[in-house]
Amino acid sequence: MKWSFSVVIQVLFLALVWLLMLGGAALAYVDFGAPTNETMPENRSDREEIFRIRIVNAVDGPITVSQDQGKTWVKVGKVVQPATKTNPNGYRASGWAETGAVAASASHAIHLKVDHNSTDPAFPAGHGVLISIIPREFYTPPEDFGGQPATDNGIYTNISAGTEIFGPWSPFVGDRLYLESNGNVYPVPVGYMPQPGDVLVLKVEQPKQYPSEIVFENRYGGLITVKYPQGREKIIGEVLRPVQGVGRFDAATATGLGGINTNHTGVITVSTVPFSNSLALDDQGGFQILPAYHANDDEMINARVLTQWMVVGPVNATDPSPEGTAPLFKHYIRPAYFAGDGTASFRTEVRIKNGDWQPVPQIAGRNDLGLVGVTHVRILFPDHLPAIAAGAPVTVLDPLPASVKATPIVVTGVTAPGAQVEVFVNGNSQGTVYATADGRFIFPKAYLVKGENLISAQATNAAEVTGPLSPAANVVLENVPIAPTLDPLPTPTKNPVVTLAGVAEPGTEVEILLNNVSRGTTLTDPTTGKFVVDQFTLQEGANTLVAVARYNSGEVSAPSEPVNVVLDTARPIISQITPAFDSTVNTSMVTISAKVDGTGTPISYLAMKFDGNSVLPTYDAATGIVSYSAGPLANGI
């Protein structure tokens, strides 16, 4: 395939901009992973054990935490499926971790390096051979998961992401891994292969001289300053490229706004979204801090052309890049969040236009300019470690109205972070949800009966301890029709005429609204409450259908849950293809792009082939641009 001259200019321009932004410094980092004079004290600091984690690698094996060097233990979860193998092809930065130690600590995984694989010519520094510890939400990774997937090398747990060992009791990068036998612990041997029944122990050690904060001047050539209590501070590095945008990084919703999502030998990830149970890609948001050598990896090309990454290096351009060194990428930072205790948690703040420190802006999804104006970023370190508590989770409901006119209702409250919450109406279970890492829960549909309803909730934590029922709330459902339910319709559809069906209270009149406009009424069956509307006509594009029920006396129900249907009878239009066909490009890396017009209908499927092979493009729904970065290309067509 040939490419246009304009694309040649575009790609060369991006490459030139990257070199100018780094002042040529990126090319100077031929070495990495060694402390500089400025960071030598942090890399040689005395550390002390603050707690340890014990995992019995067996089905139902307990996961426990000890704050007294193993004398007493508190259960925080259990193993659902043990690891039986290792993964010899760990992510790129795992090659820079120490063997027999934590390679990554994140709200959605812990990766342990047990060996080094130098056989892959594409990875000169080698891969880490990994065992992974996985929270319950990530047994099957969500769509477009960018992290390290696990199979039989995973220790799958019942612990929620962002909680317990994936949150407040998470380890540091570089913490050592041990095996326990006959009450004693021994360093895990190189090449270790996990077996069911093995007991793994992580000793979590914190530097005795611990910072209060690290400040990044978010500009080209900005200084990185580590500050200690009592006013001592020093410059440890330089910002080579400031961050300006927000991207969709895995499990940011398990971390909370301004929390540390991930720390490994080549990244710090900061969340820009609040806590939620959603793993949907567009609900995630955050930015990353990368060391310079890693930013030059082929796999990190986006960090050189997009805005979601801050790139950092040493004070002097001839010093090694800081991959796998303290205090940024080893021993100092972990995704620790204690609900209700901010000074025990890692958190991030910003200054905008040199103003006062404030919380990180709340931004979800991809926003290339979301952090424009941020002049400083700081990571605040915890100043104490709370005592771990064993006990039953207490649940408290948020206030509910004394009476309502529609059912179901939303029930919210607070309990132990990550606990499973069961909601009861008049003593009958309505189902369960999980609390987020800040302990909040949202139960979306609690169905009431007419008259009085006693609503309560009860939580069970990952240690399988069930707490008491919450104090009950009394809610009266008034004498109005119960909201109808509409049957779902296939979407998208090519058929403009559909059959609409549903159910409401027997004998009521049902009104159908399409995009908030009434489209007529029908009567329900006096016995079953079912209703059918034949020959219902949709509009081209998006259709939102709701129904309301009405008594003869005039009382009207709340609207039904909406049914969304897309009518698509027009083909999408593809235009503005660049580079043009039969054109020539003089670079090995190109970006193919085109504008897709769905003629008012959302695009639900995209496919692209490059050199006859199917590839996965990216699509920006806001602009309609589909793109794919190809390369390196061979000479010729």
Domains of the chain listed by start with CATH number? 1-28+570-637 (no CATH), 31-43+210-380 (no CATH), 47-207 (no CATH), 396-476 (2.60.40.10), 485-565 (2.60.40.10)
Which residue in this structure is represented by tokens 């930013």? 295
The pLDDT of residue 195: 96
Q: How far is CA 179 from CA 116, 130, 185, 394, 453, in A?
A: 19, 15, 5, 35, 53
The pLDDT of residue 25: 40
Instruction: For residues 510 and 536, give the distance between their C-alpha atoms in angstroms, rounded to a whole number.
Output: 14
Instruction: For residues 468 and 415, give the distance between their C-alpha atoms in angstroms, rounded to a whole number.
Output: 11
Specify the amino acid at residue 6: S
The angle at the Cα of 265, spanning 260 to 270, to the nearest 5 degrees, equals: 20
> CB–CB of 152/316 below 8 Å?
no
The pLDDT of residue 37: 95
Residues of the chain under the 50 pLDDT cut: 1-28
> CB–CB of 351/215 below 8 Å?
no
Which residue in this structure is represented by tokens 């969709």? 248
Specify the amino acid at residue 204: V
Which residue in this structure is represented by tokens 């895995």? 250
The pLDDT of residue 304: 80
Instruction: For residues 301 and 294, give the distance between their C-alpha atoms in angstroms, rounded to a whole number.
Output: 10
Work out whether the CA dihedral 71, 74, 77, 78 comes out positive or negative.
positive
Rounded to whole angstroms, the maximal C-alpha distance in the chain is 84
Instruction: For residues 223 and 152, give the distance between their C-alpha atoms in angstroms, rounded to a whole number.
Output: 43
The pLDDT of residue 268: 98
Mean pLDDT, the chain, whole residue set: 90
The pLDDT of residue 149: 82
Q: How far is CA 131 from CA 79, 81, 109, 155, 184, in A?
A: 14, 13, 10, 8, 22
Instruction: For residues 289 and 530, give the distance between their C-alpha atoms in angstroms, rounded to a whole number.
Output: 57
Beta bridge partners of 182: none
**CA-wise closest residue to 453 among 484, 395, 408:** 408
> CB–CB of 520/491 below 8 Å?
no
Dihedrals φ, ψ of 493, to 5°? -135, 155
The angle at the Cα of 477, spanning 472 to 479, to the nearest 5 degrees, equals: 160
The pLDDT of residue 557: 85
Q: How far is CA 251 from CA 4, 144, 254, 554, in A?
A: 39, 12, 5, 48
The pLDDT of residue 616: 78
Per DSSP, 141 falls in state: P
Q: How many CA atoms lie within 13 A of 342 on its CB side?
A: 9
The pLDDT of residue 637: 67
**CA-wise closest residue to 132 among 98, 74, 84:** 84
The pLDDT of residue 18: 40
Q: What is the CA radius of gyration of the chain?
A: 28
Instruction: For residues 176 and 186, give the distance between their C-alpha atoms in angstroms, rounded to a whole number.
Output: 10
Q: 492: cis peptide before it, omega within 30°? A: yes
Which residue in this structure is represented by tokens 């239009």? 573
